[in-house]
Amino acid sequence: MKVVRIEVSNFRLLKSFSLDLESNLSLVLGKNNSGKTSLLSALEKFINSSERHKIVFDDFNVDLKAALNKLVGGVDPIGSESTYSPLGITLKLYIEYDDVDNLSAVSQLIMSLDPDDNHIVLGFEYLITYSQLTSMRNDYSAVKDKYDNDPSLFLKENQHIYFDQVRKKSFSYSDPKVFTDLTKENISLADVVSFRSIGAKRSVTNKDNDKTLSSQTAIIYKKTSENQEQQEAVEGFKKQLRSTDIELSEIYQDMFSGLLSKVAKFGGSRLSETHIKIASTLQHRELLDGNTTVMYTHDKHDLPEHFNGLGYMNLISMIFEIEMLMSSFRRPSKENPAAINLLFIEEPEAHTHPQMQYTFIKNIKSLLKESRLREDGVEIHLQTIISTHSSHIVAECDFDDIKYLRKSPLANSVDAKNLKALKSEYSSDNADDNAQAELYYKFLKQYLTLNRAELFFADKAILVEGDTEKILLPAMMRKFDQEVPDAGAIPLLSQNISIVEVGAHAQIFEKFIHFIGIKALILTDIDSGIKELLFEKDGITPQLYKKGTQKIETIKCRPDDPAADHTANGSLIFYHGKVREDLGYFTSLGVEGKALSKVGNEWKVDVDGCVFLAYQTKDDGYHGRSFEDAFFSINKALLGTDHEKFPSLTPKWFNKYVKGECDAFEFAEKAVGKKPSLAIEILLNSIPDKKSDFSNWKTPHYIQEGLEWLRK
């Protein structure tokens, strides 16, 4: 039995939200303020509704607040009761079961006798009835002066008086109008669904008086003492209470050995650094509560837990807390576990360095699997949701487990997307095209998870061809911010922008860019060339391929060469829907034609588009073919006359260029060897002044054009 989908309406950013869950682990990604914490809060406030987890007016979606303000303030009419649809917040869990599931706990929730209908729809509602809304409007009208004629102030203070308690219902899967009111029928959900969470705001600190881990061991002890199977061990423990601390510490080591071995798997303790042990401190604790202290052993010295770094403390604390929650899920052997068990871990990366984050996600599945089994052989079914901002965690996860949250085109709302649905985007009815698309998808999965998972968390992206642009771009962005300030725009280096090297294959990323809705600047080369027919040595007889067609040689040239007849850049051709021979289209295209939006399966010119293709344009009378010749055509003075400052450049062609014996195109083709080294040499030879950190060189116009678009 498992939850396959969660739906939330009108809760904060979750205006009309749907999230599919995987059978075991769902990894929820998204930028800041994309609804991850809202999802956790909604689950807590509905499934574990209590005074501590009560719904407040600030939990209402902005649009719901606005609607209530107008109704309560008298701006909009309430209308008749017959046409009224209750306003409020709802959450639904869509549950599937199969023939092997024990249905005793959910029998009262099953709404269909159809053997093919294996669904349960569990609903939680926080709504205001027609009569309550009318009363609220009348009551506000009588006291509105007290609230400065602002209904939102009245609602914030008094909403809980008029809204009903959280009501629980079981809906028919095929007809939502058919339901059982579980609250009215007094049907408990305690054995149906159990929800636990570990929030991002954990109590771990490294203050001198912090005893977070020690207090957690006390809670684990309580859980252990309540377990029937552990009674013998507990009694043995009690008999030793009057013994020495050394003896008790040995017992603790036995009691917590399983937990400590789990900690060791996560890199939380290594012999080369420190390892933890549980030490008895009876003389400082009440006998049966809090009589354990976590200490670190380092060079044969026992040190208090707060001496260790927050990263280790946070990781170990999470493992301790997971153990406590899993004990709660398992329940004592005399009780049956809940049919549905949901665990939400929020941002486990807090205070941990990348290696710890890798280790955590690699081991979490096995840790949870081990903890699902009770001593009596009963295994609980557990579904885990992990929300994260960590690209390192994403890099170690299963691509198909990822759920991506993004701002919706609708205002005040977010959407959730299954990344595995991206596979269908990379498919085609044509067999050859489909094989190519599948290859692209395979590459994309590997590239994103292994190299560029930060794209999931970026607001904007720059896709570049090579190392030179990638190394120089941060400097160019700083230079742009310093030399072209705009009070109405956030500086580029203050924005969340990811720079990704994609070679000449930006078209592979187009479906992904569209899927996650990111704004992307593609910096590419125009790659102009001349096609020449090849002849034999006699200059008359054509050289032929086996199929009989004449052989053609492609020669690189400047875009403004009169003989230039094509572009070899696949990205330009793909995004603009052109062919190789359309070089003239690209050389004459203005900036207004370089922004694109996807319409159906094609990219169309759109001044408000989310993708911008920037490539070499005429700059100070010269039209470059690649980044290198475009850059040096306007920065010849940077080279000076000393070749030793640019050792990556061929001395012969360096001297020719500075003497004016060749143009920038020939120089770039023949002098440039190691491009990454060249980029570093450009930075090393940069000179700052009051206006810019890089005052002695210019950014090529086409890159400047792209950065200006991206900054908006």
Q: pLDDT, tens digit, for every residue of 97-126?
A: 998 999 999 999 999 888 889 999 999 999
**Would you state the pLDDT for residue 210?**
52
The answer as to whether 441 is a domain residue is no
Same-domain pairing of 606 and 529: yes
Does residue 676 or residue 212 have the better pLDDT? Answer: 676
The answer as to whether 566 is a domain residue is yes
Predicted confidence (pLDDT) at residue 360 exceeds the cutoff of 70: yes
Listed ranges 238-247, 291-300, 401-410, 578-587; the one with the highest mean pLDDT: 578-587
Predicted confidence (pLDDT) at residue 594 exceeds the cutoff of 90: yes
Same-domain pairing of 10 and 93: yes
**Would you state the pLDDT for residue 164?**
87
Predicted confidence (pLDDT) at residue 373 exceeds the cutoff of 70: yes
Rg of the chain in Å (alpha carbons)? 33
The answer as to whether 379 is a domain residue is no
Same-domain pairing of 587 and 686: yes
The answer as to whether 685 is a domain residue is yes
Same-domain pairing of 126 and 264: no
Which pTM was predicted?
0.84
**Would you state the pLDDT for residue 252?**
81
Same-domain pairing of 139 and 255: no
The answer as to whether 555 is a domain residue is yes
Read off the pLDDT of residues 127-171 as tens digits, 9 standing for 90 and up.
999 999 999 999 999 999 999 999 999 999 999 999 989 999 999
- Confidence band of 619 (pLDDT split at 50, 70, 90): very high
- Confidence band of 637 (pLDDT split at 50, 70, 90): very high
Does residue 392 or residue 654 have the better pLDDT? Answer: 654
Q: How far apart, in whole angstroms, are the C-alpha atoms of residue 77 and residue 668?
A: 72
The answer as to whether 142 is a domain residue is yes
Same-domain pairing of 220 and 159: no
Same-domain pairing of 591 and 674: yes
Same-domain pairing of 126 and 249: no
Q: Of 367, 345, 364, 368, which Cα lies nearest the Cα of 356?
A: 364
Number of structural domains (the chain) is 3
Same-domain pairing of 542 and 633: yes
Mean pLDDT, residues 195-224 taken together: 65
Predicted confidence (pLDDT) at residue 268 exceeds the cutoff of 50: no
Instruction: State what percent of residues in the chain have pLDDT above 70.
Output: 88
User: What is the DSSP-derived secondary structure letter of residue 260?
Assistant: H
- Confidence band of 283 (pLDDT split at 50, 70, 90): very low
Predicted confidence (pLDDT) at residue 271 exceeds the cutoff of 60: no
Concatenated DSSP letters for 312-353?
A: HHHHHHHHHHHHHHHHHHH--TTSPPPSEEEEEEE-TTTT--
Q: How far apart, in whole angstroms, are the C-alpha atoms of residue 701 and residue 559?
A: 15
Same-domain pairing of 703 and 597: yes
654 with 673: CB under 8 angstroms? no
Mean residue pLDDT across the chain:
88
The answer as to whether 187 is a domain residue is no
Mean pLDDT, residues 618-640 taken together: 96
Same-domain pairing of 163 and 296: no
Is the Cα dihedral 186, 190, 194, 199 positive or negative? positive
Mean pLDDT, residues 651-656 taken together: 96
The answer as to whether 447 is a domain residue is no
Cα dist from 312 to 275, 370, 398, 640, whole Å: 10, 22, 25, 53
Concatenated DSSP letters for 409-461?
A: SSTT-EEEEEGGGHHHHS--SSHHHHHHHHHHHHHHHHHHHHT-GGGGG-SEE
Instruction: State what percent of residues in the chain have pLDDT above 90.
Output: 62
- Confidence band of 343 (pLDDT split at 50, 70, 90): very high
Residue that finishes a domain, picked among 267, 282, 308: 308
Residue that finishes a domain, picked among 247, 275, 308: 308
The token duo for 166 is 């959280």
Read off the pLDDT of residues 320-336 as tens digits, 9 standing for 90 and up.
889 889 999 999 888 99
- Confidence band of 33 (pLDDT split at 50, 70, 90): confident
Read off the pLDDT of residues 441-482 as tens digits, 9 standing for 90 and up.
999 988 888 778 889 999 999 999 988 999 999 999 999 999
Q: How far apart, in whole angstroms, are the C-alpha atoms of residue 115 and residue 133?
A: 41
Cα dist from 217 to 132, 211, 220, 290, whole Å: 48, 10, 5, 8
- Confidence band of 96 (pLDDT split at 50, 70, 90): very high
Q: Which domain holds residue 287?
A: 207-308
Q: What is the signed CA dihedral for 224, 226, 232, 234, rounded to 10 degrees?
A: 60
**Would you state the pLDDT for residue 269?**
43
- Confidence band of 208 (pLDDT split at 50, 70, 90): very low
Q: How far apart, in whole angstroms, are the C-alpha atoms of residue 405 and residue 388?
A: 11
Residue that finishes a domain, picked among 260, 280, 308: 308
Q: Of 601, 600, 624, which Cα lies nearest the Cα of 614?
A: 624
Same-domain pairing of 216 and 169: no
